[in-house]
């Protein structure tokens, strides 16, 4: 059987090198240490296009899928901060496996999407992965937004125009404010053409 303490790390991927796998004293957390191997010669200033130099190292922790049940797993990434030789602009290196807008890896985000598609609850996903509730909600929102925009795009391409509109109001924030909802009762959706206009008027789809 695979014994955790015997795992030797030899990973190179997307410009990063794995240096070691750490475990917390109570063995409830594991950390994969990754270091950027990117050569400074390949980096140019985003403002003036001149060469840059590394002026400090920067650490970013990204939650990843656990390697073991009930053991949170994190990727601790050491990346570079650069300063331009000419204009002194400073900027931080991108991490190609970081899921945008979150502190989790793409791999973790894909697992979360898979769990959600299998109708696993957010609470259960949180317990399985140790990833924060808000982050899981963010990934869920991303799935819903993609589905909505794909649906609207398909309707636009098909030249669909709603003939009947239904309007309703509902309470939000425990009845302290109200929102208006405009729907297409035939398609059971908010008409695509109305969505930006609604947003501009403060109408929540
Ligand atoms: Zn510059």
Residue 196 confidence (pLDDT): 45
pLDDT digits (tens, 9 = 90+) for 120-175: 999 999 999 999 999 999 999 999 888 888 988 888 898 888 888 888 887 877 76
Distance in Å, CA 83 to ligand 1 centroid:
8
Q: Look up residue 136 and give its two tokens.
A: 């899981």
Helix (H, G, I), strand (E, B) or coil at 133: helix
pLDDT digits (tens, 9 = 90+) for 6-33: 677 888 989 999 998 888 888 889 999 9
Distance in Å, CA 61 to ligand 1 centroid:
28
Distance in Å, CA 79 to ligand 1 centroid:
19
Helix (H) / strand (E) containing 114: helix 106-117
Q: Look up residue 73 and give its two tokens.
A: 């797993």
Rounded Cα–Cα distance for residues 79 and 10 (Å): 18
Domain ranges of the chain: 8-98, 111-160, 161-200
pLDDT digits (tens, 9 = 90+) for 67-117: 888 899 999 999 999 999 999 999 999 999 999 999 999 999 999 999 999
Are 116 and 143 a contacting pair, CB within 8 Å? yes
Distance in Å, CA 84 to ligand 1 centroid:
5
Ligand 1 being an ion, which residues bring their Cβ within 5 A of it? 45, 47-48, 50, 84, 86-87, 89
DSSP secondary structure, 17-44, as one string: EEEEEEE-TTSSEEEEEEEE---GGG-B
Are 102 and 60 a contacting pair, CB within 8 Å? no
Residue 195 confidence (pLDDT): 47
Rounded Cα–Cα distance for residues 56 and 74 (Å): 22
Rounded Cα–Cα distance for residues 162 and 104 (Å): 40
Residue 67 confidence (pLDDT): 87
């Amino acid at each position: 059987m695979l014994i955790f303490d015997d795992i030797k790390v030899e990973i190179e991927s997307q410009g990063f090198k794995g240096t070691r796998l750490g475990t917390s004293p109570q063995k409830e957390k594991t950390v994969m240490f990754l270091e950027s191997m990117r050569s400074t010669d390949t980096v140019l200033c985003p403002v003036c296009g001149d060469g840059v130099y590394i002026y400090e190292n920067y650490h970013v922790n990204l939650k990843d899928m656990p390697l073991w049940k009930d053991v949170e797993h994190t990727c601790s990434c050491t990346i570079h901060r650069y300063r331009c030789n000419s204009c002194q602009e400073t900027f931080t290196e991108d991490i190609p496996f970081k899921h945008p807008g979150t502190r989790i890896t793409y791999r973790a985000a894909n697992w979360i999407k898979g769990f959600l598609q299998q109708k696993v609850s957010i609470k259960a996903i949180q317990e399985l992965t140790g990833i924060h509730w808000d982050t899981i909600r963010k990934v869920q929102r991303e799935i819903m937004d993609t589905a909505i925009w794909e649906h609207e795009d398909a309707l636009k391409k098909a030249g669909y125009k709603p003939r009947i509109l239904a309007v309703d109001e509902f309470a939000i924030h425990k009845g302290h404010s109200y929102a208006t909802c405009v729907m297409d009762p035939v398609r059971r959706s908010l008409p695509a053409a109305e969505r930006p206009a609604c947003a501009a008027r403060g109408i929540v789809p």
